[in-house]
Structure 1
Amino acid sequence: MVRNTLILAKFELKKLLFNPRGLISLFAFSLVWLLLLLYPIRTASSFLLTEEFKQLISGIFGENSINELFQWKVAEIAIFWIAALYLFPLFSIFVTADQFASDKHRGSFRFLTLRTSRDSIFFGRFIGHMLIQSLLLTLTILATIILAISRDITLLLPAVTSGTLVFINLFIILLPYTAMMAILSLYANTARQATIYAILFWAVSAVMIAIVHSQFASLAQWLQWILPGAQISMMINTQGFGSFVYAPIPLLQAGFLLFLGRQYIQRSSL
Structure 2
Amino acid sequence: MRIFTIAQDEILRLLSTRRGVLSLFGFVLIWAGVLNYGILPASAFFAGANESGLAEALLPRLGLTAWQQWPAPELAVYWVVCLYLLPFMAIIVSADQTASDRSRGTLRFLILRCSRLEIFLGRFLGQCVIMTLVVLATLGSVMLVISLNSADLMPAAMARVPVIVINLVLLVLPYIALMAWVSVLARSARQATLYATILWLGVSLLVGFLQSRFGPLPVLDWVLPGSQVGQLLRLSDWQTLNFAAIPVLHTVILLLVGAFMMQRRDL
TM-score normalised to structure 1 length: 0.93
- Secondary structure at the aligned position of 2:71 is classed as coil
Q: After TM superposition, give the deviation of residue 211 of structure 1 in Å.
A: 1.6
Amino acid at match of 1:214: S
Correspondent of 2:88 among 84, 87, 90: 90
Q: After TM superposition, give the deviation of residue 121 of structure 1 in Å.
A: 0.3
Amino acid at match of 2:189: A
The answer for the alignment partner of 2:58 in structure 1 is 57
The 2-side partners of 1:60 and 1:160 are apart by 29
Q: After TM superposition, give the deviation of residue 269 of structure 1 in Å.
A: 2.0
Q: After TM superposition, give the deviation of residue 125 of structure 1 in Å.
A: 0.2
The 1-side partners of 2:60 and 2:259 are apart by 49
The answer for the alignment partner of 2:254 in structure 1 is 257
2:262 paired with 1:269: no
Deviates more, 1:23-32 or 1:47-56: 47-56
Contact 2:100 2:189 in 1 (8 A): yes
The answer for the alignment partner of 1:102 in structure 2 is 100
Deviates more, 1:33-42 or 1:19-28: 19-28
The 2-side partners of 1:168 and 1:58 are apart by 25
Deviates more, 1:35-44 or 1:78-87: 35-44
Q: After TM superposition, give the deviation of residue 18 of structure 1 in Å.
A: 2.8
Q: After TM superposition, give the deviation of residue 267 of structure 1 in Å.
A: 2.2
Contact 1:224 1:230 in 2 (8 A): yes
| Runs of 5+ unmatched residues, structure 1 | none
Amino acid at match of 1:180: L
Amino acid at match of 2:58: I
The 1-side partners of 2:13 and 2:154 are apart by 33
The 2-side partners of 1:168 and 1:42 are apart by 23
Residue by residue, what CA displacement relative to the aligned partner does 1:69-108 show, whole Å, maximum 9, x if unpaired?
Answer: 1110011111000000011001111111100110110011
Correspondent of 1:179 among 138, 162, 177: 177
The 1-side partners of 2:156 and 2:86 are apart by 23
Q: After TM superposition, give the deviation of residue 154 of structure 1 in Å.
A: 1.7
Q: After TM superposition, give the deviation of residue 66 of structure 1 in Å.
A: 1.8
Contact 2:185 2:265 in 1 (8 A): no
CA-atom RMSD, angstroms? 1.4
Amino acid at match of 1:240: D
The answer for the alignment partner of 1:16 in structure 2 is 14
The answer for the alignment partner of 1:231 in structure 2 is 228
State the aligned residue count: 264
Identical amino acids, percent of aligned pairs? 35
| Runs of 5+ unmatched residues, structure 2 | none
Q: After TM superposition, give the deviation of residue 173 of structure 1 in Å.
A: 1.0
The 2-side partners of 1:228 and 1:47 are apart by 31
The answer for the alignment partner of 1:48 in structure 2 is 46
Q: After TM superposition, give the deviation of residue 217 of structure 1 in Å.
A: 2.1
Contact 1:134 1:171 in 2 (8 A): yes
Contact 1:77 1:163 in 2 (8 A): no
The answer for the alignment partner of 1:120 in structure 2 is 118
Amino acid at match of 1:163: V
Correspondent of 1:26 among 24, 27, 36: 24
Q: After TM superposition, give the deviation of residue 56 of structure 1 in Å.
A: 4.5
Correspondent of 2:141 among 121, 140, 143: 143
The 2-side partners of 1:248 and 1:212 are apart by 24
Query: For 1:59-74, what aligned pairs fall within 5 Å after superposition?
Result: 60-61=61-62, 65-74=63-72
The answer for the alignment partner of 2:215 in structure 1 is 217
Contact 2:174 2:251 in 1 (8 A): yes
The 2-side partners of 1:120 and 1:59 are apart by 48
- Secondary structure at the aligned position of 1:218 is classed as coil
The answer for the alignment partner of 1:248 in structure 2 is 245
